[in-house]
Structure 1
């Protein structure tokens, strides 16, 4: 069915596919929301500081 080289290539493909899948899950569930919330909080702080500077 498979030669040994094809089997190793298939295992390498599955490994890379699995790593990519879990990396995307990690990025979508943790990194991107963390980045969005953090940048929003910083922007709100900047807006408040601008308002204080005007008054």
Structure 2
């Protein structure tokens, strides 16, 4: 078993199945995208940019 020391991370997901739930304790790490647009969605791009800026200054 390998234990990672990763402290700062971001997940990008479209949760396309409709039954998947992102763990509540990690929702602040999630960039949720539209299935049809992915990161082509301006809202997802803005959210990703914000999260990247936040982890840069932690």
Same fold judged by TM-score > 0.5? no
**Structure 2 length-normalised TM:** 0.31
Higher relative contact order (CA 8 A, sep 6+): 2
Higher helix share: 1
Structure number with greater Rg is: 1
Higher strand share: 2
